[in-house]
Each structure stands twice: as C-alpha cells, then as structure tokens.
Structure 1
C-alpha cells in the first residue's frame, strides 16, 4: 500500500483517459499502483545507471593516477586547445 500519497496530473491520449474514467474504483487503484511502480522503477534504474557511471569514472581516475596522471597534467591536457 502506498503511503504519503499526493495527486498529480499527467496528460494521456483521450482513449486512455476514457478507459480510466470508465473503470471501477478497484481497477483505478490497480492502474494507479502500476503507474506508481513504473515511475519508481524508472527512478531507481536511472539512479543505478548514475551509480555505475560514477563507479566507472572512479576506476578510470584511479588507473590514470596509477599511470602518473596528476591534476596539473590533466589541466594541461584539457587546456591544450585554448
């Protein structure tokens, strides 16, 4: 069961809205739970992707430092085109 609920508005095609309006209260609750689950899953997937990106960046940074890259060298490389 969802806690701390609030209402949001989203735009959907008219046929979807009509289906929702014509649904029973029980069917509407199921639809709302599915939408909430999808949005939560989407948010978690995005966060997991960001976490993986950060881990990869950390690994690359550590390997670069092990190979002798210093902040000064990095800044010099980044400013080469200026």
Structure 2
C-alpha cells in the first residue's frame, strides 16, 4: 500500500504520547488513524450525522460537558 505523509492538529497530550512512542507503536497508531479516517471519509453519512454519532459514543463512555471543558482548557 502506498502511503503519503500529512499533517494534522491534535491536542498536546496526544502529540506527546505519539512522540514518546516506540517506532512500532507509532506505526500501529498511524495504521489505526488511517483506517478511521478512511472509514469516516467513505461514509455516506453527513458531517452532522458523524458528529452526532461521535457525541453519543463519547457520552456513553462517560464524557460529560464538564469533562470535555476540562480537557479543552488543559492546554
């Protein structure tokens, strides 16, 4: 499979984890991200539907508005 390098913005904690990971762990994370981005871009769902689904999944996993605000303000 041909690959190409792109640049994306992530929060500082995610960047730190990626930067400190071993080469093998980085390859695994890149493969997972590639699959997720591929699935998201091939989806027939609208952006609003995808965002709603992500929100429902996050809430089901315990992400409250307060926790989200804390994460976003923890720069």
Do they superpose with TM above 0.5? yes
Q: Provide the TM-score with structure 1 as the length reference.
A: 0.52
Q: Return 5+ residue gaps in structure 1 as ranges.
A: 51-82
Cα distance in 2 for partners of 1:36, 1:9 equals 12
Cα distance in 2 for partners of 1:10, 1:45 equals 20
- Compare relative contact order (CA 8 Å, sep 6+) and give the higher one, 1 or 2: 2
| 1:9 alignment counterpart | 7
List aligned pairs for 1:10-49, cutoff 5 A.
10-46=8-44, 49=45
Q: Provide the TM-score with structure 2 as the length reference.
A: 0.56
Q: Return 5+ residue gaps in structure 2 as ranges.
A: 47-75
